[in-house]
A and B are shown apart, each in its own frame.
Chain A
Amino acid sequence: MEISSIVFFVILGIIVIYLVSIFNQLVALRNRFKNAFAQIEVQLKRRYDLIPNLVETAKGYLKHERETLESVIQARNTASDNLSAAQRNPGDASSMQGLGQAEGNLTGALGRFNLVVEAYPELKANETMQQLTEELTSTENKVAFARQAFNDQVMQYNIYKQSFPQNILAGMFGHALDASLLEFEDSAEIQAAPKVSF
């Protein structure tokens, strides 16, 4: 056994260890953002649970606004379906975009709903209605916050994946695609719209 071959094996060993550590780090980072998505999921589900109650409460007062109510429910159902698709594969570009869009639509529908509510002072004064709106607002805030945490983790994963030498290896290790951020369409609106002022 010559020195050169021993050196060769030692170096080989170090390289193997290095590769394994890159692989593990990639997996760890991916798991982290997947877990962060669970946080968003809980809050979004909560939001989807609240909306039918909201509509139910408003129904009695808004007899002539069926269209608005239906559009809210429909947007809510679409968003809920998109969430189920997204939770199977957090970080996937198309499902993230789908969810983002559906959320944007739902926010828009809720915005219109709130405008309508403005015209009905009795409904606005309804205690259940106030409670639900209040809870909806706080859920919105939690969604926004959880989304920020998710996007942080996705960024971390992407940055690690794109730096050298991971950029060469990531594809081989089954991390070919960058994870996609979850952006809600009209992000500014989502923070403002559901806030009903009484």
Chain B
Amino acid sequence: MNFFQAQDNARKNTFRLVLLFALAVIGLILLTNLFLLIVYVFATTNQLVFSPQALYHYYTWKEFTLVSLGVCLFVLGGSLYKIQALSGGGPAIAQMLGGQLIPLSTRDRQQRQLLNVVEEMAIAAGMPIPQVYLLNETSINAFAAGMTPSSAVIGITKGALQRLDRDELQGVIAHEFSHIANGDMRINIRLMGILHGILLIGLMGYFLFRSLRFSGRSRSSKGIGGIAAIAAIGMGLMIIGYAGSFFGQWIKAVVSRQREYLADSSAVQFTRNKDGIADALKKIGGTANVGSYLDSRAAPEYSHAYFANGISGFWQSLLSTHPPLDERIKRIEPAWDGKFLPSEIRPDRDIDAVDSAQRDFSQVAVTAAVLTSVEQAISQVGTLNEQNIEYVHQLIVALPGALREASQDPYSARALIYAVLVGLQKDRNAAQAVLENLADPDLSALTLTLLPQLITLEARFRLPLLELSASALRELSPNQFVQFKTVVEQIIASDQSVNLREWVVQRFLLQQLDEYFGFRKPIKAKHANLEVVRNDVQIILSLIAHIEHREDDGAGAAFNSGAAQAGLAPLEMLAGTAFKLSMLDRALDNLMLLRPLVKPHLLRACVATIFADGKPTTAGIELVRTISTCLDCPMPPLRSAEPD
């Protein structure tokens, strides 16, 4: 299953869930009605009546409608509330589970290694780097949370960090990345919402029942009948609510177990390394006393997102959100002998050798995959491979030390971005004047120190560096982010003109950060074909054609080949002078509304445009990658055939 198919399935599954939800609510309404009716009849006649005819006698449409409305409102309200609360993004969920953010500037070696693994994998996949949370638990487990790649986070237990080696960590993280890339979290959050709505009825009953205990004495004069009725209503609602949520959980578990196998196999596909993830699973099995169980109170609710079963209990086999360990291991490694691995807490000093710059590159330097065909580029979206991960690893190691260090901390990451932008200005003096007006003179000094290194930086380092910095900038407070944004805009505007490179930096960076800080709402796909966004496709393809053929006159041919691929011919290329960046922004905003299965057509058209003459340029590839990142279609680093 490719990336787009998985995304689309996730969307369709959501539709099925809504249907299921409607059925569940109707069932609940009927049950609640029946139940209240029995209580009502009992309270008025002191007789327990169960036969429908007799009950019908006491009942009118008005009451039925009222009760139904009440239940609907209740369940719907509960669900919407929960969905809304969980949509707050990954950080909210990670914190609910008791996670502590690992600061990017951490000096703990185990944490450093983990962050390195996550960074490499994210950049290799072309996804924004997620924040990583540490759960203070001794068991071995991990989770991914968040609605969109930009707001996704990864959490991992301390036990996993201490007991797994680098390859195993990589396997576990790849598993979580697959959850992020496949859009599993969206489905899960909706499922949790629905379950919550149903559970709310049970909770309501519970509160009613409890309230009797406190008010029992004061209300004794009101008569036993009233209290008994309330007690009965409470009990009944509890039973209905809990039974309902039991079935809900069962459905959730069935869906979730399927996604786990998918994530496992993707992890193997991403890392080309069966042993990593298989050994991690074996270690969970072999660490019987701690296993993968979590103590957090919120753990059961979020069980589906973990790496392995996070909760234990009587209903485990039925309600388990994860397939049994041995079954999972056997699917990865059919020849497994059934022996789990013991795990020990790694001493700190053993960790590092592989992570530092001294890593021994005995093999020939790895490069990113060369872009050889349109299809190859599209098939890479949303996947990872060992070669790319290794390439990114070497890329990061080869980054000038000062830049790498600056990208690891929100304070200096700002200076890094300012420097990138100042370097792109026509009039650097005007841009430096903006810097001098900054409140913090040390920051502008730092910016100027970094500037020369950025001006001479090789093109292939540029996007990864932006991605690394974006990750550090998430640690800003909202106020600081707003200030940062203002300065970015001032620098860009300082020379009275905005060129495409600046626009790319701004868009690439601010779109994900805006989404992360909640200044930009996650979008809902609605356009089902490219025809609707014809004008926007025209703008984007024209732009790509002009960038690709800045130095020769092949733009027209390139554009036509892209337009043909998009199936929108006849389409006319816009003149190179006709662009306004506001126009580009709007076009991209519209294209973001495309449905998952339409997006590959657009990307194919974009790639076809740079590929028309068989020689895509680095600038063209970078632009297409930026566009695909904005569309939430993570495209891994690709290399042009031309020498760098």
> Which A residues fall within an 8 A CB radius of B?
1, 3, 6, 9-10, 12-14, 16-17, 20-21, 24, 27-28, 31-32, 34-36, 38-39, 41-43, 45-46, 137-138, 141-142, 145-146, 148-150, 152-153, 156
Contacts and interface: CB of A to CB of B under 8 A. Distances in A.
A10 B478 contact: no
A149 B67 contact: no
A17 to B, nearest CB: 5
Interface string B471-499: 00001111110000000000000000000
Given A1-B36, A13-B204, A149-B480, A38 B66 contact: no
Contact of B105 (A17, A43, A150, A156): A43
A12 B233 CA distance: 15
A12 B73 CA distance: 12
Contacts of B212: none
B26 interface: no
B441 to A, nearest CB: 10
Given A35-B95, A145-B411, A14 B77 contact: yes
Contacts of A12: 204
Contacts of A9: 70, 74, 204
A143 to B, nearest CB: 9
A142 B409 contact: yes
Interface string B368-408: 00000000000000000000000000000000000000000
B265 interface: no
B81 A17 contact: yes
B100 interface: yes
B443 interface: yes
B103 A38 contact: yes
A62 to B, nearest CB: 27
Interface of B: 36, 40, 63, 66-67, 69-70, 73-74, 77-78, 81, 85, 88, 92, 95-96, 100-103, 105-107, 200, 204, 207, 409-412, 440, 442-443, 446, 475-480
Given A32-B95, A39-B105, A138-B442, 7 more contacts: A16-B207, A17-B81, A24-B96, A46-B107, A138-B446, A145-B480, A146-B410
Nearest to B442: A141
A137 B36 CA distance: 71
A148 B63 CA distance: 58
A35 B477 contact: no
A6 B70 contact: yes
Q: Which 3 A-B pairs have the closest CB atoms?
A: A152-B477, A31-B95, A149-B477
Nearest to A31: B95
B100 A142 contact: no
Contacts of A14: 77
Nearest to B200: A13
A28 B411 CA distance: 24
Given A1-B36, A142-B412, A17 B77 contact: yes
B411 A141 contact: yes
Contacts of B73: 10, 13
Given A14-B77, A28-B95, A149-B480, A38 B204 contact: no
Contacts of B410: 39, 145-146, 149
B442 A1 contact: no
Nearest to B33: A1
Given A1-B63, A152-B477, A35 B100 contact: yes
A90 to B, nearest CB: 11
Contacts of B102: 38
A104 B388 CA distance: 48
Nearest to A153: B477
Nearest to B133: A35
A31 B92 CA distance: 9
A3 B66 contact: yes
A10 B70 contact: yes
A1 B411 contact: no
B475 A39 contact: yes
A6 B92 CA distance: 34
Contacts of A36: 475, 477
Contacts of B63: 1
18 contacts: A1-B40, A1-B66, A3-B66, A6-B66, A6-B67, A6-B70, A10-B73, A13-B73, A13-B78, A14-B77, A17-B78, A39-B410, A43-B105, A142-B412, A148-B477, A148-B480, A149-B410, A152-B477
Contacts of B204: 9, 12-13, 16
Nearest to A3: B66
A42 to B, nearest CB: 5
A12 B211 CA distance: 13
A53 to B, nearest CB: 14
Residue of B67, B105, B207 most packed against chain A (CB within 10 A): B105
B32 to A, nearest CB: 10
Contact of A152 (B69, B411, B412, B478): B478
